[in-house]
Each structure stands twice: as structure tokens, then as C-alpha cells.
Amino acid sequence: MATPPPDPAAVAAAARILREARSVLFVTGAGISADSGLPTYRGVGGLYDAGETEEGLPIEVLLSGETLARRPEWTWKYLGAIERACRGASPNAAHESIAALERERARVVVLTQNVDGLHRAAGSRDVIEIHGDVHELSCTRCAWERRVRDYDGLEIPPRCPLCSALVRPAVVLFGELLPHAAVKRLEEELRRGFDAVFSIGTTSVFPYVAAPVLMARGRGAGTVEVNPGETAVSHAVDVRLRCGAAEAMKAVVAAMNGAGIR
């Protein structure tokens, strides 16, 4: 379904916020990758539908740490579906706009729930992948790690070439804790604060996703949401762009540059 075009008044307001901000946090979800061809479904990183499964179990059960330990072939079957959804996708204008801003501004940080790796592919370096990256594999027993382009050629479930233990991707499955290093990094960045926070393509249902927006609003920082629908933070932001991420970010950056911003 096509999203409506950006509202010019909202674009101008978002551009003013971005123009004045030297530090910006972009909080992103599955919606930012929709224009790259990835589905905005529920699941790990927003990349799998929560409908019926062949096993007769909810997807949240199949994509859980408990099932990975008990029936790894089930979990890996759906991990493979997630990886195939990511395969061949390229960063879109929203990812690229954020990466360009990082090169221009003193401090630009991305907090993403996505496991597709598209922010880094676009050139962003300061990325907190709070749910991990589906392309990063590691052994569940020893220190073996590897980054893969895709899952072609992997036995399912894959085994470590060093110790034969189960291999898993570095993603947060249902029932698992968020990675400590990523949480610590996010906490440090939020303590420093930001001049502006943009929430793009996420329903913000998780507290750690909504919190940056709410904290920014409490501190008087500019807040912008890009999402066609209503979300958990829609009531709290200064500006709402009810459209797709790529179109919104192209319009905001164009308006900002048209005002002579460097």
C-alpha cells in the first residue's frame, strides 16, 4: 500500500529541528527498510510474519532461545527465512541520508532494531544494533566467529568447524536478554543527551525504543517521528511525518539544504 506524500509543513518543521541539531539520535525499525524491499513483519528485527507455521507453534516460540537449544533445526529454518528476506537488499535514501549526516555533524548515532545490516552498508559507523545482525555467526561453545554474506552452503543447523557445537547468529531471539554491550552503549549515549531524536519506521512498543524519544522530549530536545501509522510515541513528538521513511528523509534533507545548511 502506497503511503501519502510528506506534508510540506511537517517537512519544514523537521528540517528546522535537524538544522539546529549538532547531535542527533536516529531510532529505526523495520519501516526504514521497507523501501529496500524488506517486509515490515513482526519477528526478530521485524522480518517475519507472526502467522501460522508448519510446526503449529507461534513464531515467537520457534524463534526463541529455548527452542534453539531444544530443536535448533526448527529455529534455524525460520532464521533462514529472515536471512533470505535480507538477501540482496540495498540501503535506501533513508539509510543513506543518515549516513551522510554522520559525516557532516559532530555526533550522529543510530539505534536500530533491524538485523539486516543496511545502516552499516550505507556507511553509518556509529550504530547500536540492539537486536544484533543476522549475518554475524558465532559458536555457542567456543570463541569461533564469522561474518557471512548469506546462509547459502550452511548445513542446517550449522555446526562449529572447530568444536562441532551449535552455531547461531548474533541476534536476540525471543526470551533472550538484550546484548549487554549494546545496552551499556545506549545508556551512555542517552546520559550525554541529544539535540534531536528522530524515530523512523518503528511502532516503539519496546520501552528501550520509546525511552529515547520520551527522554528527549523531557529535556526540551527536538523530536520527529516518521511513520504512516499511530505508534506508542506519536503523542509525544514535536513533528510527525506520516509517510514512508525514504521519501520523508529525502524531503527533510532537501528542505534543510535549501535553507543553506551545511
Show the 3-state SS of 38-78.
CCCCCCHHHCCCCCCCCCCCCHHHHCEHHHHHHCHHHHHHH
pLDDT of residue 87: 87
For residue 63, what is the domain's CATH number? 3.30.1600.10
Pairing of strands 222-226, 107-112: unpaired
Mean pLDDT throughout 163-186? 97
pLDDT band at 40 (very low <50, low <70, confident <90, very high): low
Which contiguous run of DSSP H or E holds residue 222? strand 222-226
- Check whether residue 165 and residue 182 sit in a common domain: no
- The reply to whether 60 falls in a domain is yes
**The domain boundary residue, chosen from 154, 171, 188:** 171
- Check whether residue 158 and residue 239 sit in a common domain: no
pLDDT in tens, 50-102: 556 888 998 899 999 999 999 999 999 999 988 988 888 999 999 999 999 99
pLDDT in tens, 194-236: 999 999 999 999 999 999 999 999 999 999 999 999 999 999 9
8 Å CB contact between 82 and 50: no
- Check whether residue 157 and residue 104 sit in a common domain: no
Number of domains in the chain: 2
Pairing of strands 127-129, 239-241: unpaired
Mean pLDDT throughout 159-188? 97
Calpha distance 114→99 (Å, rounded): 16
Mean pLDDT throughout 23-45? 83
> Residue 201 sits in which domain range?
8-37+90-131+178-258
pLDDT of residue 50: 53
- Check whether residue 198 and residue 247 sit in a common domain: yes
- Check whether residue 124 and residue 187 sit in a common domain: yes
pLDDT of residue 249: 97
Reference 212, options 234, 185, 186; nearest CA is 186
- Check whether residue 190 and residue 123 sit in a common domain: yes
**The domain boundary residue, chosen from 171, 197, 224:** 171
- The reply to whether 159 falls in a domain is yes
pTM summary value: 0.91
- The reply to whether 2 falls in a domain is no
Asked whether the predicted pLDDT for residue 27 surpasses 80, the reply is yes
8 Å CB contact between 199 and 225: yes
Give long-range contacts, CB 8 A cutoff, 24+ apart: 174-181.
174/44, 174/60, 174/61, 174/63, 174/64, 174/65, 175/64, 175/65, 175/66, 176/64, 176/65, 178/130, 178/131, 178/208, 179/130, 179/132
For residue 125, what is the domain's CATH number? 3.40.50.1220
- Check whether residue 97 and residue 184 sit in a common domain: yes
Calpha distance 51→68 (Å, rounded): 19
Which contiguous run of DSSP H or E holds residue 217? helix 207-219
C-alpha cell at 68: 534453539
- The reply to whether 3 falls in a domain is no
- Check whether residue 96 and residue 224 sit in a common domain: yes
- List the Cα angle 202/254/1 in 5-degree steps: 40
Q: Which residues are catalytic?
A: 131
Indicate the residue type of 24. Answer: V
8 Å CB contact between 168 and 65: no
- Check whether residue 146 and residue 224 sit in a common domain: no
Lowest mean pLDDT among 41-45, 144-148, 253-257: 41-45
pLDDT of residue 262: 37
